[in-house]
Amino acid sequence: MDSRKNIIITGGNGCLGTELTKMLKSKTSELGSLPAIYDQFDIVSLASYELDITNLEHVSKILEEKQPYAVVNCAAYTDVDGCEDEKDKAFKVNALGPRNLAIVCERKRAKLIHISTDYVFDGEEKEKRIECDVINPKSVYGASKALGEEYVRSFCSRWYILRTSWLYGYHGKNFVNTIIKAAKENGVLNVVDDQIGSPTNAVDLAYAICKLLITQEYGLYHCSGNGECSWYEFACEILNVFGIDAKINPCKSSEYKRKAKRPKFSNLDNFMLRLTVGDCFRDWKQALSAFCNNGYKS
């Protein structure tokens, strides 16, 4: 066992970072307890103002102080339309940030888990995407995340890249929160029904991270909820699970003028996860129901 005991989480105050920090510190989750080996680790969760991943010198300083066994990069610029307006910022956070972490992790012989996205695909293929499929991003956000993946692979030898999709959790802004708030305030919603994907509960993704982190099963993984639906179907199930009386009308993507192109079909297949540590992700409806019953506060 490596003598380094610190696990550093970047973006520690975000949707995934908060859930992962909670899970690692409590050594348990609604999906089960973590292996006993996690008793040996101290968890260092850092917000962006505490660790600026875009600054190589700052990354070097913090990781030299903390001497990490592993770094989990949950930090990202995820405003998809905002990335179109702020291309420099998008590439600085989503590409140079992971590069800086990879460079220093390699120097410190630390593991690096990097979180990526379904947006690296163009979304034109109406089949589940597996890890060996060719990527073809169609937005600044997707392109910046794709370059981040490339940098991690190039500069670090102990890496795991986890692509996820339609992530929601107990913390931060996400689709579930948005639908609940809008339904209560407006009573009537229009939601697109021609974009298909896999909703992912942050608890499931955090648990997958914990399963992989203590292994040497390095590589690229798809990590998203099982099953598929449209945003419209997702919204309808949200209202059903939470018992909210509101009307949802299906509409087409063409009715909304968005700066960034969204994938039409972005269902990820957790193929490599099944072949290694096992697919711990629940069916998206089951995970949403658990989200409702296990502490969600609107």
Pick the closest to residue 165 from 141, 187, 134, 185 (CA basis): 141
Mean predicted lDDT score pLDDT of the chain: 94
Q: Express each pLDDT in 137-172 by its tens digit.
A: 999 999 999 999 999 999 999 999 999 999 999 988
Confidence class of residue 295 from pLDDT cuts 50, 70 and 90?
Answer: low
Task: Cite the active site residues.
Answer: 141
Q: Is the pTM of this model over 0.85?
A: yes
| CATH superfamily, domain at 6-174+199-227+267-284 | NAD(P)-binding Rossmann-like Domain (3.40.50.720)
pLDDT single digits (tens) 179-221: 999 999 999 999 999 999 999 999 999 999 999 999 999 999 9
**Can you give the pLDDT at residue 2?**
52
Cα gap 124→66, rounded to integer Å: 43
Half-sphere exposure of 81 toward its Cβ, with a 13 Å CA cutoff?
A: 4
Q: Is the pLDDT of residue 228 over 80?
A: yes
Residue 284 near residue 229, CB atoms below 8 Å: yes
The CA distance from 191 to 193, in Å, is 6
Q: What pLDDT is attached to residue 173?
A: 84
| Token pair for 216 | 């040497």
